[in-house]
Amino acid sequence: MNCRLKTLLAVLLLSSASIQAVERNANYKESPKYLALRDSVHHAFNDADSARFYTSVKKLEAYLLKQKDLHAYYTQRCNEIVFELNRQNIYEAYKLSCDMSRELTERKLDKEMYMAINMMGHIYNFSGNKESAKKCFWEVIRRMEQEGYSESLPPIYMNLVNIIIEDDPDEALRLIDQAASIARETSPEREFDIETRRTLAYYRKGDMERFLKGYKAYKAGEAKGLSSVHGRTLEVLYLAQQGKTDEAVRLASEKLESDHYSTMAELYAKAGRWKDAYNMLRKDIAESDSVNSIILSSSMQGIQDEVQRYEKDREAALRYVYALIAIACLLLLLVLALFYIVQARRLHMREMKKAYKRALESDKMKTAFIQNVSHEVRTPLNVITGFAQVMANPDNQLSAEERRTMADMMVHNTYRITNMINEVLMISVHESAAERKLTQIVCNDAFSKIVSNFYIGKDKEQAIEMRYESTLDDEFSIESEERVVRLILIQLLDNAVKNTTSGTITLKASITDNQLMLVVEDTGSGVPAHEAEHIFERFVKLDPFMEGLGIGLTFARTMAQRLGGDVKCDTSYQGTGARFVVMIPLT
């Protein structure tokens, strides 16, 4: 949530600058008809009235096309995307941006392509994908410099500053220098706001001497009637620098429209008031969770609409919708569980700083999990949606074999989504289960059936041989939880299949030091020694393109420890592939 309002403001500034550039050479913009259409769009935009806005903007776009002013036309298309971003309809904004990019490519309007790329940058930034946003903004700068749109460059540089300021203040200051240099020559009215942002960067860097000098310059400019969107934040940080933490917090609470909780947490942390900082951080996380939930719900609603539009079979479409709702509910439960854990940690003053750091780490893990799940859901859904569109198009003359192949791909990707939900549910349920159901397990019979019944998949069943080897007597048995033991072995075998393209996968059983030792060996890609423990952490995948959430090995170890044993990756194994060892006590 940090920079989203600032991002949208930057978008509007860029759009305004672009419009001004065109207005110099467009006489029609003095006409009463154009002014009426423009004002109608602005009023509807400011009122957030979607019905009025889209009616007005379409009329204005038609008028601009009639005037053959494509630059102004695509500026209004950008306003449609900004309107959807303001409503937090990320999916709709993304579709509009893709449509505009495709249209610009088809019309070979490379000169205006920077608009579509800029919109994608804001969408990525709004969604929390900073790296992709930075790539887009740098590409926008390159294209604008190439096409001579110099006066509109400073807002793009400031977008980059907003992204990197927390991680790299020095680089942010370098970008601010570039923006200020351009503004002096092309748009002096922006220079005061840029210099105010520079003063904030000095604070982030810890250069208080320059910060105070910049603050004095800001006050002098303010006395002359100048203003900056960063002025209120500057006033808050100045009070904090003067040691007036409570006044700074009160001003932040009253004046800052966004980021007030995170700013207050930072102020308390710098003052060493860790308990207050911790409480503000909890509020910031709760607010961020709320926004992320809205974004996620909005995106999923868009996906649901796409499925309903192109899917002929209503019952099949409903199954996809139910799956998406289940995922959203599960994510919500996980977020609430994390939030409850953070709230439950009430330690004395000495441990409060540690709790503060743990809350930050928890928030990062949650963001990584949401991005991981979002990727794992979006990929198969894109496949399903794409094939559904092809099959639903009456113009496509498809053979029965082609339809069967598409149906198989849709079923396979549906299974991928279902399996992902099952993995998360499985580890959640089993970790919380307290009751143990002990049964007598005849080892050779049970383990050989697991191997023989394990499904490798059609693409690998001819290339991989499954084996079971045992030094145990045929009548040997142990008393344990048979379901848990089976699930451990299934997770390890599944991991072996994912990482093996050809060769053998072997399950071995033996007795060592009054423990049952189960070994799974494969001839796959193997595991580097330095990653032997890292792979047992949640959501860790050595190959980021591998299917799954990265919790199979975590689940296997958790269940083994529940039985009093453990699961380890044998780093001393010299063969091809990897070797995982499960130790289960006999008593």
- What are 547-556's pLDDT values in tens digits? 666 778 888 8
- Would you state the pLDDT for residue 7? 40
Residue 127 has pLDDT above 50, yes or no: yes
- Would you state the pLDDT for residue 548? 67
SS3 97: helix
- The more confidently predicted of residues 504 and 240 is 504
- Would you state the pLDDT for residue 419? 65
Residue 155 Cα to chain centre, angstroms: 24
Spatial contact of 563 and 484, defined as CB atoms under 8 Å apart:
yes
- Would you state the pLDDT for residue 426? 62
- Would you state the pLDDT for residue 22? 44
Question: Quick one: which of 291, 326, 331, 383 has its CA closest to 90?
Answer: 291
- Would you state the pLDDT for residue 338? 84
Q: What are the backbone angles phi and psi of residue 583, rounded to the nearest 5°?
A: -115, 125
d(CA 161, CA 121): 13
Residue 226 has pLDDT above 80, yes or no: yes
- Would you state the pLDDT for residue 472? 93
Does the structural domain 434-585 have CATH classification 3.40.50.720?
no
The mean pLDDT of 231-260, rounded to a whole number, is 82
Residue 447 has pLDDT above 90, yes or no: yes
Those residues whose C-beta lies under 8 Å from the C-beta of residue 442, and which sit 6 or more positions away, are: 475, 476, 477
- Would you state the pLDDT for residue 12? 42
For domain 1-12+33-147, give the CATH superfamily.
Tetratricopeptide repeat domain (1.25.40.10)
- Would you state the pLDDT for residue 442? 93
Confidence of residue 152 (pLDDT cuts 50, 70, 90): confident
Residue 23 has pLDDT above 60, yes or no: no
Confidence of residue 368 (pLDDT cuts 50, 70, 90): low
- Would you state the pLDDT for residue 443? 93
- Would you state the pLDDT for residue 359? 66
Convert the pLDDT of each residue in 505-520 to its tens digit. Answer: 999 999 998 899 999 9
The mean pLDDT of 343-363, rounded to a whole number, is 71
Among 91-95, 244-248, 313-317, 522-526, which is the least confidently predicted range?
A: 313-317
- Would you state the pLDDT for residue 570? 92
| 3-class secondary structure per residue, 35-66 | HHHHHHHHHHHHHCCHHHHHHHHHHHHHHHHH
- Would you state the pLDDT for residue 373? 64
Confidence of residue 168 (pLDDT cuts 50, 70, 90): confident
Beta strands (DSSP E) in 69-122 are none
Among 140-154, 278-292, 565-579, which is the least confidently predicted range?
A: 278-292
- Percent of the chain at pLDDT exceeding 90: 20
